[in-house]
Amino acid sequence: RYLAGLNQKIDDHEKVTIQGELGTGIFVNAASVIMRLGVATTILVGASLILSGQIDFMLLFLFLLVITRVYAPFDQSLALIAELFVSQVSADRMNEIYNTPTAEGVERFQPKGHDIVFDHVGFAYDKKKVLDGVNFTAREGEVTALVGPSGSGKSTCARLAARLWDVTEGTIRVGGLDISTVDPEALLTDYSMVFQDVVLFDDTVMENIRLGKRGATDEEVRAAAEAANCGEFIRRLPQGYDTPIGENGAKLSGGERQRISIARALLKNAPIVLLDEATASLDVENETKVQGALSRLLAGKTVLVIAHRMRTVAGADHIVVLENGHVAEQGTPAELMERGGLYRRMVELQSESARWKLNGTEA
């Protein structure tokens, strides 16, 4: 899938380059042809003038000498113009980078508590608005679950909560502070993120977990790994904690990778946890282990989870149901079941498909 995207980009680039080359090529060559035509015209006209006896050969020769002298620099400047076109494109790109505003803010981040408040939040990636008038509060010590159909804006909400982008409308406050006024690095010291695409480095298991907290001791790393249920699989690796794990953890299973990222988060022990549940790569045994590790990580924190599992959703303190970038409904699981809206329909659909699967295995 990623390779397909890359191929597409390479094709696009090829097209743009060919178009650019053609454009400047045609212009430069046309100009130089016109200049050559000038020389040819001089010869033709000169020759006919000599024939009619109006000028002599020496005069024509002088003319030709002069115009070839005059044209030489023109030819050179044409080549330079072609280069200028190319540099203009590069300069435009550099300007675009320089003109992109960097996220800035005060370096001190001392919020009062860690409630996350979305206050009439609107957001658009380019022109397309993907969130509109989103209001909800994720309280400290509670699990707030974001649910809704794919593309409804769950991940966007999670990214905005960590100021990976700035909101287009409204504000997001953490502990009463508008996060768009806080330096992103200072802000993120209070966040742990356990997302689907865990980034692992081609280093040892130990160093990969230590990323959670700069300067953590080996003991601290081991304690976090044990708490995240990593200990058992790490001991099975050939060199234990000192085993290199390959490019992006190629030698580990999905569940193991996820537990490493949970170990990182445990080590960091930040008051806010953003979590994107990924179930696809987990078998039942792994899922139980990840679940155990998570409950240790989440205790007492402000937890915002993009929920895929009904079990997580049903155990959440507060549920925000998103639909097309709007909050369709929110409340406790019991309240939403009572209400009989989108949430209830989703629960019923899920349990139906679960029953269907059960029947399938029995048959």
Q: How far is the CB of 143 from ligand ADP (least distance, A)?
A: 18
Contact between 155 and ligand ADP (CB under 6 A)? yes
Q: C-beta of 146: minimal distance to ligand ADP in Å?
A: 8
Q: How many CA atoms lie within 13 A of 289 on its CB side?
A: 23
Contacts of 144 (CB under 8 A, 6+ apart): 116, 136, 137, 138, 302, 303, 304, 305, 316, 317, 318, 319, 320
Closer residue to ligand ADP, CB minimum distance, 129 or 173? 129
151 touching ligand ADP, by CB under 6 A: yes
**Closest separation in Å from C-beta 88 to ligand ADP:** 28
Query: Taking the complex as a whole, how short is the minimal distance between the CB of residue 150 and ligand ADP, in angstroms?
Result: 4
| Shortest Å distance, C-beta 32 to ligand ADP | 44
- Contact flag: residue 271 with ligand ADP (CB under 6 A): no
168 binds ligand ADP (CB under 6 A): no
Q: Six-digit token pair at 244?
A: 């290199």
Which residues fall within 8 angstroms of residue 38, CB to CB, at 6 or more apart? 67, 71
166 touches ligand ADP by CB under 6 A: no
CB of 147 to ligand ADP, least distance (A): 9
Stretch of 26-34, 38-46, 59-67, 153-161 contacting ligand ADP, by CB under 6 A: 153-161
Q: Is residue 167 a contact point for ligand ADP (CB under 6 A)? A: no
Task: Return the residue of 144, 156, 192, 302 that touches ligand ADP, per CB under 6 A.
Answer: 156
Residue 148 within binding range of ligand ADP, rule CB under 6 A: yes
Contact call for residue 154 and ligand ADP (CB under 6 A): yes
* 296 Cβ contact partners less than 8 Å away, ≥ 6 residues apart: 227, 228, 266
Integer Cα distance of 162 and 73 in angstroms: 58
- Per the DSSP assignment, residues forming a β-bridge with 119 are 171
Query: Residue 360 and residue 363: Cα distance in Å, rounded?
Result: 5
- Site residues (CB under 6 A) for ligand ADP, limited to 91-130: 125, 130
Contact 90, 69 (CB under 8 A): no
Residue 150 interacts with ligand ADP (CB under 6 A)?
yes
CB of 13 to ligand ADP, least distance (A): 20
Q: What is the 3-state secondary structure (H, E, C) of 237-289?
A: CCCHHHCECCHHHCCCCHHHHHHHHHHHHHHHCCCEEEEECCCCCCCHHHHHH
Q: How many residues bind ligand ADP (CB under 6 A)?
A: 10
* Cβ neighbour number for residue 78 with a 10 Å cutoff: 16
HSE at residue 347, side-chain half, CA atoms within 13 A, is 18
Binding site for ligand ADP (CB under 6 A): 125, 130, 148, 150-156
